Amino acid sequence: MSPTYRTLRQRCQREWVAFGVLPGDLEKLIVAFVDHHNHQCYHEVLKNLTPAKNPEVSHMTRNCLRRLLLGAVGAAVVSGVAIADDVDALVGAMLGNTPIIDDLKSLTDSIGGRVTGSPSNSAAVTWALARFKQADVVATAEEFEMPSQWQELEASANVSGDISFAARVVAKPFSTGTDGSLSAPLVDGARGTADDFDRLAEMAHEAWVLVETAVLDDNIGLAGLFAEYGSAAATAQLAIDAGVAGIVFMSSRPKNLLYRLPMLSSKDKLPILVMERENAERALRLLRAGNSLTLQATIEIDGGYAYQSSNVIGEIRGSSRPDEIVLLGAHLDSYDLGTGALDNGANVTMLIDIARQIRRLGLQPERTIRFALWNGEEQGFFGSWQYTERHEDELDNHVMAASFDIGTGRITGFFTGGRPGLPAIVDQQLAPVAGLGPFQQVDIPLVGTDNFDFMIEGVPNLIAAQADANYASNYHAASDTFDKVDQRQLKLNSAIAAALVWGFANTADRLPRQTHDDIDALINATDLEQQMRTFGVWEDWASGIRGRQSSSEALEGDPEAGVPSASENQTDISLPPAVAVSSSAVVATSVITDDAPVADENYGLKEPLPPPEENTLQVTVTSVSKNLSNRFLFATESGQVWLQTDQRRARFEDTPFKAEIRPGSMGSYFLKPDSSTVSVRVRREK
Ligand SMILES: [Zn+2]
């Protein structure tokens, strides 16, 4: 087929699909028409596709077909006609008959939920590599270390007391286990505000606090989801301060729907459940009627240990500026209750399909395009973080990094991150798909998905802003399955995303990478700090282990970055900041004695673990106690206190004992008792 012919055909497809003609039907009609060059067919098509009640469709279709006919005639007569406009070709191809929907069925129905670290997640990595390969796109699995496994093995709950009933529950991600079952009074925590905890006072102590939530449905959508995240994080902090046994959040979704809302800011601090709404409401009514209730809950978690995961990175090399990179990203992992269709299988298949169509059409971008399928997103954007570490030398040349992570609602524009100049460049790239708009860029920074590390590395970054549709009501829930996907809108979104990436890969315009000070200024001018705290990533930035540093000195201890320098330490020796400050629970760096060697400055972040004999510390543990979540606190002779972060059951109740502590990855420490081979993860507490 000649380029002119191809372009016209694709333009027709685009216009028709925009008016609701299904790609499959359209394909058949066009093939019939084009292959026969036949006026009879032309009239037949017109008759079929132009309902009299819709004159606009009629007009569009008529014009489109006329152009197609002229194109066909022209192609037959003239050889070597003008080269097709690449972006139109690509957009047309995205709207045509592609395997995107079959891919999505395969990823969600056959592979299913894809928790990072699970066998199905590994299957998804293999699947993605195979899909890229079939599409003739070079792709690699880039391995990285996930610092801490978290997977629910069991969660169950029974209400007893004046009235007894069983209630379905799930553990919130990063909840601790209960070490057997945990039975405690169930108290009415109302909305879980500071006033509510004041009212409860001592009653909250060592109780299960039941917290009411607002209904989250499609009417409130994403606003409700963000509100739920924010209030849950605030409640968890109040609950920790009040010394509760655990929190039970009422499900915000009616009809017994359960979901996993991550609690990164209270990671590993206490048991947290979500209870089906109807039974939580029942318990609250009973409590408010004066009944006294006890909750016996069991949470068993497999977790605490580091493990390997992989991003899948597909690449189409640029023709004239191959060192400059435009990146489209979507996370491959999901939670386990549903099959991760809206979050985020749909956008994964969209990225694969864009790469496939670029190769199929033989298009050559000027810049290199990378298609990044991230892992570990749900645990705190680990895959994209590790990508920015691994590709640090290339970050100056990352022209743009976009994330797609809000289901299949219409793309209404992009979040441009508070980056002057970026909205105008995005506007320009979306011009070829203006008919699928309108588009409005939203120039604010957002934390919550894989743009985050690009943002704090100063790389121009985008998140697709999408209509709420049914995203929030199915978010991380058992109901996030293939049937919730808006297939037609996914096709249209794929055309929009294709135009965006093609534009960025070929435009002369580009913004420079921001400096540490620029990023700091952005944080100071916006609510970024609060957002980062909600997602549990503030300390990582503030301590300098994550994001762009002001200079190489930061790694030595930059006071502004919140890391004391070695000379400021009052005690004998400092751990390198990269090791000491990666967790919000670790508050100081001066922890070990004279004879312990200092670790490599990149240690724990980019380099494999050094041999165990390096960097060890002999301590005598003088007392061991349990905290509320039944994990051990170790006090040492020097007055330091270490918290066991491992969920595995290890007992160190005979004190004093001698132990060896050596830094593990990502700010955790292994504590190895003298007389035993058991090791658990610990980290230093205030
Ligand atoms: Zn997501």
Q: What are phi and psi of 223, to 5 degrees?
A: -60, -40
Asked if 367 and 324 touch (Cβ cutoff 8 Å), the reply is yes
| Residue-level pLDDT at 18 | 53
Categorize the per-residue pLDDT at 305 as very low, low, confident or very high, splitting at 50, 70 and 90.
confident
Categorize the per-residue pLDDT at 633 as very low, low, confident or very high, splitting at 50, 70 and 90.
confident
- What is the H or E stretch that residue 56 is in? helix 55-77
What is the number of helices (H) and of strands (E) in the chain? 20, 21
Categorize the per-residue pLDDT at 551 as very low, low, confident or very high, splitting at 50, 70 and 90.
low
Same-domain pairing of 435 and 350: yes
Asked if 251 and 279 touch (Cβ cutoff 8 Å), the reply is no
- pTM of the entire predicted model: 0.70
| Dist. CA 424–CA 608, nearest whole Å | 43
Note the Cα 435 to chain centre separation in Å. 30
Distance from Cα 407 to the centre of ligand 1, integer Å:
8
Categorize the per-residue pLDDT at 25 as very low, low, confident or very high, splitting at 50, 70 and 90.
low
Distance from Cα 221 to the centre of ligand 1, integer Å:
15
Distance from Cα 370 to the centre of ligand 1, integer Å:
19
Distance from Cα 425 to the centre of ligand 1, integer Å:
26
Same-domain pairing of 438 and 418: yes
Cβ burial, residue 181 (10 Å; 0-12/13-18/19+) = middle
- End-to-end CA distance of the chain: give it in Å, rounded: 70
Residue 91 lies in a domain: no
Q: At residue 45, does pLDDT exceed 70? A: no
Distance from Cα 299 to the centre of ligand 1, integer Å:
25
| Dist. CA 57–CA 16, nearest whole Å | 8
Distance from Cα 344 to the centre of ligand 1, integer Å:
5
Q: Convert the pLDDT of each residue in 145-174 to its tens digit.
A: 998 889 999 999 999 999 999 999 999 999
Q: At residue 607, does pLDDT exceed 60? A: no
Q: At residue 186, does pLDDT exceed 50? A: yes
Q: What is the DSSP letter of 549?
A: -
| Residue-level pLDDT at 1 | 44
Same-domain pairing of 457 and 493: yes
Q: Kindly report the CATH number assigned to the domain that includes residue 375.
A: 3.40.630.10
Distance from Cα 94 to the centre of ligand 1, integer Å:
23
Distance from Cα 373 to the centre of ligand 1, integer Å:
12
3-class secondary-structure state, position 484: helix
Distance from Cα 114 to the centre of ligand 1, integer Å:
12
Distance from Cα 272 to the centre of ligand 1, integer Å:
21
Distance from Cα 256 to the centre of ligand 1, integer Å:
22
Distance from Cα 378 to the centre of ligand 1, integer Å:
7
Distance from Cα 428 to the centre of ligand 1, integer Å:
27
Distance from Cα 216 to the centre of ligand 1, integer Å:
17
Distance from Cα 375 to the centre of ligand 1, integer Å:
10
What's the domain range around 685?
554-686
| Least confident piece of the model among 4-8, 432-436, 593-597, 617-621 | 593-597
The last residue of a domain, from among 302, 337, 358: 302
| Residue-level pLDDT at 293 | 98
Distance from Cα 381 to the centre of ligand 1, integer Å:
10
Distance from Cα 630 to the centre of ligand 1, integer Å:
31
Categorize the per-residue pLDDT at 109 as very low, low, confident or very high, splitting at 50, 70 and 90.
very high
Distance from Cα 448 to the centre of ligand 1, integer Å:
8
| Residue-level pLDDT at 544 | 87
Distance from Cα 338 to the centre of ligand 1, integer Å:
13
Residue 522 lies in a domain: no
Distance from Cα 195 to the centre of ligand 1, integer Å:
33
Same-domain pairing of 268 and 350: no
Q: At residue 493, does pLDDT exceed 60? A: yes
Distance from Cα 514 to the centre of ligand 1, integer Å:
26
| Residue-level pLDDT at 84 | 35
- Strand ranges (DSSP E) for 431-527? 461-466
Distance from Cα 331 to the centre of ligand 1, integer Å:
6
* 549 vs 342, more confident: 342
Same-domain pairing of 27 and 109: no
Distance from Cα 405 to the centre of ligand 1, integer Å:
5
* 654 vs 8, more confident: 654
Asked if 311 and 453 touch (Cβ cutoff 8 Å), the reply is no
Distance from Cα 72 to the centre of ligand 1, integer Å:
44
Distance from Cα 449 to the centre of ligand 1, integer Å:
7
Distance from Cα 403 to the centre of ligand 1, integer Å:
10
| Residue-level pLDDT at 274 | 98
Same-domain pairing of 112 and 66: no
* 54 vs 143, more confident: 143
CA atoms within a 13 Å half-sphere pointing along the CA-CB vector of 280: 32
Q: What are phi and psi of 453, to 5 degrees?
A: -70, -30
Same-domain pairing of 137 and 165: no
Q: At residue 49, does pLDDT exceed 90? A: no
Same-domain pairing of 131 and 177: no
Mean pLDDT, rounded, for 30-50: 47
| Dist. CA 16–CA 23, nearest whole Å | 9
Distance from Cα 330 to the centre of ligand 1, integer Å:
8
| Least confident piece of the model among 43-47, 241-245, 519-523, 608-612 | 608-612
Q: Give DSSP secondary structure letters for 189-244.
A: -TT--HHHHHHHGGGGTTSEEEE------TTTHHHHHHHHHHHHHHHHHHHHHHT-
Same-domain pairing of 401 and 484: yes
Categorize the per-residue pLDDT at 35 as very low, low, confident or very high, splitting at 50, 70 and 90.
very low
Residue 622 lies in a domain: yes
Q: At residue 440, does pLDDT exceed 60? A: yes
Distance from Cα 644 to the centre of ligand 1, integer Å:
30
Asked if 537 and 381 touch (Cβ cutoff 8 Å), the reply is yes
Same-domain pairing of 406 and 480: yes
Categorize the per-residue pLDDT at 685 as very low, low, confident or very high, splitting at 50, 70 and 90.
low
Computed over every residue of the chain, the mean pLDDT equals: 80
Distance from Cα 65 to the centre of ligand 1, integer Å:
40
Distances (CA, A) of 56 to 92, 96, 110, 401: 20, 21, 41, 38
| Residue-level pLDDT at 678 | 53
Residue 547 lies in a domain: no
Residue 104 lies in a domain: yes
Asked if 336 and 128 touch (Cβ cutoff 8 Å), the reply is no
Distance from Cα 345 to the centre of ligand 1, integer Å:
9
| Dist. CA 461–CA 22, nearest whole Å | 33
Which residues have a Cβ under 8 Å from the Cβ of 382 and sit 6 or more positions away?
116, 144, 146, 147, 309, 375, 376
- Strand ranges (DSSP E) for 225-331? 246-250, 272-275, 293-303, 307-316, 321-331
Same-domain pairing of 15 and 137: no
Mean pLDDT, rounded, for 185-189: 98
- Nearest CA to 347 out of 547, 486, 474 is that of 486
| Least confident piece of the model among 14-18, 245-249, 358-362, 426-430 | 14-18
Mean pLDDT, rounded, for 500-526: 94
Distance from Cα 668 to the centre of ligand 1, integer Å:
27
The last residue of a domain, from among 478, 510, 542: 510
Categorize the per-residue pLDDT at 267 as very low, low, confident or very high, splitting at 50, 70 and 90.
confident
Q: Kindly report the CATH number assigned to the domain that includes residue 175.
A: 3.50.30.30
Q: At residue 599, does pLDDT exceed 60? A: no
Residue 226 lies in a domain: yes
| Residue-level pLDDT at 311 | 98
Q: Convert the pLDDT of each residue in 233-259 to its tens digit.
A: 999 999 999 999 999 999 999 999 999
Categorize the per-residue pLDDT at 585 as very low, low, confident or very high, splitting at 50, 70 and 90.
very low
Q: What strands, in cross-sheet order, belong to the sheet with 411-415?
A: 138-146, 307-316, 367-374, 321-331, 398-403, 461-466, 411-415
Q: At residue 659, does pLDDT exceed 80? A: no
Q: Which amino acid is at 347?
A: N
Q: At residue 345, does pLDDT exceed 90? A: yes
Asked if 657 and 674 touch (Cβ cutoff 8 Å), the reply is yes
The last residue of a domain, from among 255, 271, 302: 302
* Residues around ligand 1, an ion, CB closer than 5 A: 343-344, 405
Distance from Cα 157 to the centre of ligand 1, integer Å:
28
Same-domain pairing of 274 and 365: no
| Dist. CA 359–CA 365, nearest whole Å | 10
Distance from Cα 588 to the centre of ligand 1, integer Å:
33
| Residue-level pLDDT at 61 | 53
Distance from Cα 342 to the centre of ligand 1, integer Å:
8
Q: At residue 660, does pLDDT exceed 90? A: no
Distance from Cα 661 to the centre of ligand 1, integer Å:
36
* 483 vs 26, more confident: 483
Distance from Cα 528 to the centre of ligand 1, integer Å:
19
Q: What percent of the chain has pLDDT over 70?
A: 71
Q: At residue 31, does pLDDT exceed 80? A: no
- Nearest CA to 373 out of 110, 104, 125, 119 is that of 125
Domain count across the chain: 4
Categorize the per-residue pLDDT at 335 as very low, low, confident or very high, splitting at 50, 70 and 90.
very high
Residue 89 lies in a domain: no
| Least confident piece of the model among 149-158, 207-216, 314-323, 594-603 | 594-603
Mean pLDDT, rounded, for 658-685: 59
Q: What percent of the chain has pLDDT over 90?
A: 61
Residue 540 lies in a domain: no
Distance from Cα 225 to the centre of ligand 1, integer Å:
13
